[in-house]
Amino acid sequence: MARLPFGPEIIHIIGTNGRAWREAGTLVELLMPIVSSGLMKGRSLLLTGLSLVALASGQTRPEPTFEVASVKPWTFVPGGGTGFRVEPGRVYCSNCLLVLMLNKAYGVPTLRIIGPKWLLDFQGGPTFYQLDARFPLGTSGTLVPAMMRQMLAERFHLLAHVESRDTPVYALRVATGGLKMKPKEIASAQNDASAPAPKAILGGLDTRTGVVKLHGDMTLTSLAESLRADREVIDETGIAGEFEVLLTARIPALPQFAPSLQVNSQLDDSDPAVQNVPSIFSEIQKLGLRLEPTRAPLDYLVIERMDRIPTPN
């Protein structure tokens, strides 16, 4: 191996951990051709060497945390909304369910969270919370999930893991004959003020009748997520971009989330409100798409331990 261009004090630091020395030495040996080519010299090499030592000795950067986080049980306020808002330097959620906080922390849909009965079945009535957390201005919003995980671990003593499970799903695929949807009208490069604005997505799922109404511009992935029924719908079209969607159809059954809510996942076909509404399986074909039952590996969040009441603020 080539001689390392470090002074005795640096050799001493590396040498305090024999394993780190061996692993760092091996990695630096791989860098020596770059060093000899003149692309990396002096201080740059020193910093690289120290970084390699940190990696080899198992040192990792700590998870980002909120500067301060207030989270407490909350009396449900009708009409108060349950939105999870991320603002500059702040995360706020009122009338907030723990499953929503878990969803924002791990990115796993609430229907794929597995945990204690009180968390998912709302036994004895759901517990609502108010969350008001602060972080430094200028911090990227992409760090919020990691900060949420830290908060849940510290305040609710959460212990959880994500695992993949083979799951029945519907696959959204392009039908024979190709896609029949119009691409979204895009504004010109000159930001022409007369160019049409994106159409807002109107409608949604009526949980009483199972009728889904969608009108607006959306990606096929968003369309698939909007059609979630007794199974999740996975976008397998491989087509990017947004398209104009105009759809009114009925899903076969509702997703079953909390049994204690007594939501009948099987819909009543005798309901006059739905007798003339076409099935999603036939209506989706008018868009040049099809839904096919299949199986796919999906990530589930498994709660091993979690307190219902957080530690005091």
Q: DSSP letters along the chain, please? A: -PPP---HHHHHHHHTSHHHHHHHHHHHHHHHHHHHTTSS-HHHHHHHHHHHHHHHTT--PPPP--SEEEEEEE---TTS---EEEETTEEEEEEE-HHHHHHHHH---GGGEE--HHHHS-TTS--EEEEEEE--TT--GGGHHHHHHHHHHHHS--EEEEEEEEEEEEEEEEPTT---PPBPPPPPTT--TTSPPPPPPEEEEETTTTEEEEEEEEEHHHHHHHT-SSSEEEE-S---SEEEEEEEEE-SB-----GGG---SB--TT-TTTTTSPBHHHHGGGGTEEEEEEEEEEEEEEEEE--SSPPP-
Confidence (pLDDT) at 268: 60
Domain assignments of the chain as residue spans, ordered by start: 8-56, 68-164, 179-287
pLDDT, averaged across the chain: 76
How many other CB atoms are there within 10 angstroms of residue 263's CB atom?
A: 13
**Cα–Cα distance list, 298 to 45, 173, 224, 253 (Å):** 43, 18, 15, 20
Q: Residue 263's pLDDT band (boundaries 50, 70, 90)?
A: very low
Confidence (pLDDT) at 204: 77
Q: Indicate whether 28 pLDDT > 50.
A: no
User: Which range (131-140, 188-197, 262-271) has the least confidence?
Assistant: 188-197
d(CA 32, CA 41): 11
pLDDT (average), residues 204-224: 85
Q: Residue 43's pLDDT band (boundaries 50, 70, 90)?
A: very low
Confidence (pLDDT) at 251: 85
> Which tens digits make up the pLDDT trace of 290-301?
999 999 999 999
d(CA 234, CA 66): 34
Please tell me which of 152-166, 201-215, 268-282 the model is most confident about, judged by mean pLDDT.
152-166
Which residues partner with 205 through β-bridges?
212
Could you tell me which residue, 216 or 121, shows the higher pLDDT?
A: 216
Confidence (pLDDT) at 193: 52
Confidence (pLDDT) at 267: 60
Q: Are 233 and 291 in contact (CB under 8 A)?
A: yes
The token pair at 250 is 């009925």
Which of 21, 25, 18, 23 is closest to 4 using CA atoms? 25
Could you tell me which residue, 188 or 140, shows the higher pLDDT?
A: 140
Could you tell me which residue, 37 or 121, shows the higher pLDDT?
A: 121
Confidence (pLDDT) at 188: 42
Percent of the chain at pLDDT exceeding 70:
65
> Which tens digits make up the pLDDT trace of 160-179?
999 999 999 999 999 999 99
- Report the relative pairing of strands 128-134 and 202-206 from DSSP bridges: unpaired
Confidence (pLDDT) at 90: 96
Confidence (pLDDT) at 126: 74
d(CA 81, CA 136): 26
The rounded Cα 63 to chain-centroid distance in angstroms is: 18
Q: Are 101 and 152 in contact (CB under 8 A)?
A: yes
**Structure pTM?**
0.68
pLDDT (average), residues 81-100: 89
pLDDT (average), residues 123-145: 88
Confidence (pLDDT) at 4: 40
Percent of the chain at pLDDT exceeding 90:
45
